């Protein structure tokens, strides 16, 4: 018996499988967008994606895997969009804040979606390492890209740059959780990020 795992194996399977996978992620996205974490119910996802429950679980072994995969797709897209353009701002801090604010705006426009994806990310255990890694890389790449002003000069990426980007990503994540769970407002979150970036990126 071949053990196929369409969600993590490198080869993406047949066209029909790729199509199913996309339908599932789209359904997840829609449900998350309209009702948040709680609305992403496995039976509902399966029904909307027009697959059986068992099939859904074959593609994504848990609700968390499913949501984190959807988050990964989001971040990849955001990262690609931002990668195309120059980032305005004269200092690293300004550019990073520009990008973070931009992302924050996007997320605030879809609070339910953001809540669902963030919750899943925070709840993920080690079985979701691969999917998490995708998100972490995208986050780091977004921040380093902003630090370097949007010029794709990858040679200039030092270890310290990456370390800094990871620290900023950490603060961003904590702030996001606080916002998503209603413990802080969007304005407080923005102010907090300014403080943090100001501290970390003193030029």
Rounded Cα–Cα distance for residues 97 and 132 (Å): 23
The residue (of 71 and 175) whose beta carbon lies closer to DNA is 71
The footprint of a second copy (CB under 8 A) covers: 119, 122-126, 128-129, 132-133, 163-164, 166-167, 169-171, 173-175, 177, 181-183, 192, 195-196, 199-200, 202
- Which one of a second copy, DNA, none interacts with residue 16, CB within 5 to 8 A by kind? DNA
Of residues 65 and 95, the one with the C-beta less far from DNA: 65
SS3 190: helix
Residue 44, φ and ψ in degrees, nearest 5: -70, -40
Torsion angles phi and psi, residue 136, rounded to 5: -60, -45
Question: Which run of H or of E encompasses 21?
Answer: helix 15-39
Angle at 23 between CA 49 and CA 17, to 5 degrees: 110
Residue 62 binding target from a second copy, DNA, none, CB below 5 to 8 Å by type: DNA
Q: Of these partners, a second copy, DNA, none, which one is at the site of residue 195 (CB under 5 to 8 Å by kind)?
A: a second copy
119 binds, among DNA, a second copy, none (CB under 5 to 8 A by kind): a second copy
Q: What angle do CA 82, 108, 197 make, to 5 degrees?
A: 60
3-state secondary structure of 89: coil
Are 31 and 48 in contact by the 8 Å Cβ rule? The answer is yes
Residues that bind DNA (CB under 7 A): 1-2, 4, 6, 14, 16-17, 20, 38, 40-43, 50-55, 57-59, 61-64
Kindly tell me which of 25 and 40 has the beta carbon lying closer to DNA.
Answer: 40
| Residue 178: CB minimum distance to DNA, A | 20
């Amino acid at each position: 018996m071949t053990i196929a795992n369409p969600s993590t194996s490198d080869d993406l399977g047949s066209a029909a499988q790729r199509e199913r996978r996309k339908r599932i992620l789209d359904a997840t996205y829609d449900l998350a967008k309209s009702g948040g974490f709680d609305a992403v119910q496995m039976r509902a996802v399966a029904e909307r994606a027009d697959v059986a429950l068992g099939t859904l679980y074959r593609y994504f072994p848990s609700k968390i895997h499913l949501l984190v995969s959807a988050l990964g797709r989001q971040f990849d897209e955001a990262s690609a969009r931002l990668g195309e353009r120059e980032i305005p701002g004269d200092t690293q801090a300004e550019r990073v804040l520009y990008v973070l604010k931009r992302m924050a705006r996007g997320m605030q426009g879809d609070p339910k979606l953001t809540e669902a994806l963030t919750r899943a990310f925070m709840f993920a255990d080690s079985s979701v390492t691969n999917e998490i890694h995708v998100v972490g890389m995208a986050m780091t790449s977004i921040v380093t890209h902003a630090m370097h002003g949007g010029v794709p000069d990858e040679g200039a990426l030092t270890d310290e740059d990456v370390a800094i980007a990871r620290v900023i990503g950490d603060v961003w994540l904590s702030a996001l959780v606080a916002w998503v769970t209603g413990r802080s407002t969007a304005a407080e979150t923005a102010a907090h990020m300014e403080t943090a970036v100001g501290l970390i990126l003193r030029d």
